[in-house]
Every structure is written in C-alpha cells, then in structure tokens.
Amino acid sequence: MSSRKMLIAGNWKMNGLQKDGVELATAVAKAVNEVENPKCEFLVCPPMTLITSVVNAVEGSKVAVGSQDCHFNVKGAHTGDTSPVMIKDAGCEYAIVGHSERRTDYKESNELICKKSEAAYEAGLKAVICIGETEAERDAGKTVEVCKEQILGSVPANATAENTVIAYEPVWAIGTGKTPTPADVQEVHAEIRKVVAEKLGTEIASKMRILYGGSVKPSNAADFLPLEDVDGALIGGASLKVEDFMGIAKVCL
C-alpha cells in the first residue's frame, strides 16, 4: 500500500448557476461529513462565478475548493483573467492548470502551464497539472512520449508532492464514455511516475499523487481507483451529481 492519500476531484467545467452550485456543494459537503474517517480527500472545482458561494457552502467540511485555471501574474492588465492570488483569497486551496480543453481552446503551451503552476505555488495554491494524449497520438503509439513531454515542459522544477497533483486524462476519453483499459491506465501512470522521478527525484515521485480522468463513473471507478499508481480521479460529468460523485468516492472510502 502506498502512503499517498487518494484525491477525488470534481471538475464542474462551465456548468451551474448560483442555485445549482450552492445546492451541489452543500450536498457534497453533507455526504462527505457523513463519512467517518474518509480515506480520501475531496475537491470541487466550480466555475469562477461560483467559487465564493461554493467556499461558503462547504465551510467547515472536509471538501476543498479549487479553480479550473489561473493566470501567471499576480495582478494587472489582463482582461478576463483571474490571478492565483485572487483565487487563494477567495478561499481556494487548488487550481487546475493545463486541462486539455484549455490546451485546445486557448492553445495553452507546456511553457505557459508551467508558469501558471509556479504562480499558483507562489500564491499558496496547489496545482492540479493535467496531461494526456489525443486519439491520434494514442493510435500512433505516442502516449508515453506525449505525456513525458508534457510533464517535462509543464511541471515546474520546484514541484513537490505537497504542491502538485498530476492528472492523466487521455483527451479521447474526456466526456466520451470511452476509457483506456485498466492495464493501460496502470502502465501510463507507472511511466508518468518514472518521468516525475527523473525530473524531481524518486522521493517526490513516490509521494506525488497521479489522478486518472476521462469518463470516470460509479460503474467503472472500481476498475481504476484500486490500481497501484492511481491516486484518485478527476471527474467531469459525473461530478455534477452528488450520487455519482460519492458513488465514485465510495470505492476508496
């Protein structure tokens, strides 16, 4: 058994008005509070407009809150962006960076993701750094190569097991209902840990959490969460319903 504490993280993406966000966060906090000595940690990442309400709704519970992105600057003339200092100030503990939807929609590069992660650390946030190959890259047998390049380029040199979580999310598995086999997931996670060890040392690599993400549901969570190098899940669609989110968490409770 590893000493790594599992992390069950919900990425709400661009979903939810105030009422929905407060209801969902309240329900998650209540469900988590009903678990005695949970063996995993919980995180919800609402859209920026809901952060304050969600922070208030989960106050006093074991549910942490994170943003879905952050800028790499502390403040200034960056219309539409949110600084990691503001995110921390709003009550967040984490920031997701480099999600494939941002890599695709905003052409975010590894270099930019690295700067965002460094800025998140500087603000006192933990970074959930996302990596993962596209379907074409997988078909070309380049999964490990792509993940390696993304880790080397987007994980800062001062990353630690405390300030960083890596989320492996094959792009073709996100929101599609398709998933890699458990054997594939374990193999890629083990390779990711090897690359982290090359970059940051074996001590940090052995403690760093690597989440799997991509169509995780209550019905398949037991295929992935018990794998040796899987330390939790980053959940999109299924994090929008408390039953599904907790149904996934149940596997590691």
Residues making contact with ligand PGA (CB under 6 A): 11, 169, 174-175, 213-216, 234-238
Ranked by CB distance to ligand PGA, the top (closest) residue is 236
Nearer to ligand PGA, 21 or 98 (CB): 98
Nearer to ligand PGA, 174 or 230 (CB): 174
Residue 155 φ/ψ, nearest 5 degrees: -95, 120
- Least gap, CB of 24 to ligand PGA (angstroms): 15
- Least gap, CB of 34 to ligand PGA (angstroms): 24
- Least gap, CB of 175 to ligand PGA (angstroms): 4
Counting beta carbons within 10 angstroms of the beta carbon of residue 253, is it exposed (0 to 12), middle (13 to 18) or buried (19 or more)? middle
- Least gap, CB of 21 to ligand PGA (angstroms): 17
Nearer to ligand PGA, 24 or 234 (CB): 234
- Measured in whole angstroms, how far is the alpha carbon of residue 67 from the centre of its chain? 10
Handedness of CA 230, 231, 234, 235 (dihedral sign): positive
- For the record, the structure tokens of 110 come out as 């590894």
Please state, in angstroms and rounded to a whole number, the distance separating the CA atoms of residues 231 and 246: 16
- For the record, the structure tokens of 238 come out as 């299924």
The C-alpha torsion from 172 through 167 and 159 to 85, rounded to 10°, is: 100
Q: Which residues are catalytic?
A: 99, 169
Nearer to ligand PGA, 100 or 186 (CB): 100
Please state, in angstroms and rounded to a whole number, the distance separating the CA atoms of residues 96 and 45: 8
Please state, in angstroms and rounded to a whole number, the distance separating the CA atoms of residues 33 and 135: 39
